[in-house]
Structure 1
């Protein structure tokens, strides 16, 4: 039953991806509003965040399907389903590992968005977007995704401590 629920969760990440991206941008809008001296606007219907409104460099970011954390969480969910199907007795460890790794991936994606916003504010729209999206944002995603994967494997496969 748990395996089917995880497969259903994986399917839901694909089916409700638009709403998931809206949630990610809503979360990002909260963080950006804490750090911005200018207006921030969430266009939920477009999964877009506009910031710097009323300032010198207003800018808008749209969350496309390839930039969402959903597609980094998705393989973790499927691997968790397979692990539980093969070894049901480790399901609690796998679910804990999945929860921790999923939160880590979402946090990393928020850091990527904030990095991009910060660089646009610092370097301007063209250079800031280039460095924030192409180089530093990608590095944050790759390193953070790798760290989340290592964390998932470590937590899911570690042996329980001996009672002593």
Structure 2
């Protein structure tokens, strides 16, 4: 009777675990830079869809919109509102999955890319929903409803959908 020795993970799997761990650490350490990038993206989208004046104060992670109108408003991306904290657990879980089952490295990396893009898109949708509600309902009611109800619903539903997508893509069997 021969004993089966555990195989060492393939070099690409080890590299993927290290890269995912480094990305997770970078999201925590470079959170301010990440939030700035999110607001740059949001301001670009807002400039495309809005006729109102839009100004980005990147050093503050803030978009000012409605400039030149009676309802000008500044929206700041705070640390708790960033998509980084939804992407971070995906990176950690992905790294653990690859460490435990190196054979699924490619599937997990693809699933992470898709799920992270979905989470980022959902957060952009949340920001745009908030801007739209402020434009529609005014600063007080629009911000309240956009931040506490609709924005939270967009984040929760979108984050859950991204998680389901990640699990489905990373665990499904390849077609024969």
Matches of 1:147 and 1:72, distance apart in 2:
12
| TM-score, length basis structure 1 | 0.97
Which of 11, 17, 27 aligns to 1:13? It is 27
Q: Over aligned residue pairs, what C-alpha RMSD do you find?
A: 0.6
| TM-score, length basis structure 2 | 0.91
1:36 Cα deviation (Å)?
1.8
User: Unaligned 5+ residue runs, structure 2?
Assistant: 1-14
1:35 Cα deviation (Å)?
2.0
User: Unaligned 5+ residue runs, structure 1?
Assistant: none
Which of 126, 136, 139 aligns to 1:122? It is 136
1:116 Cα deviation (Å)?
0.2
Report matched runs for 1:5-154 at 5 Å.
5-154=19-168
Which structure has the bigger radius of gyration? Answer: 2
Aligned length: 162
1:34-75 Cα distance to aligned partner (Å, 9 max, x none): 222221000000000000000120000000000000110000
1:20 Cα deviation (Å)?
0.5
Which of 150, 153, 160 aligns to 2:174? It is 160
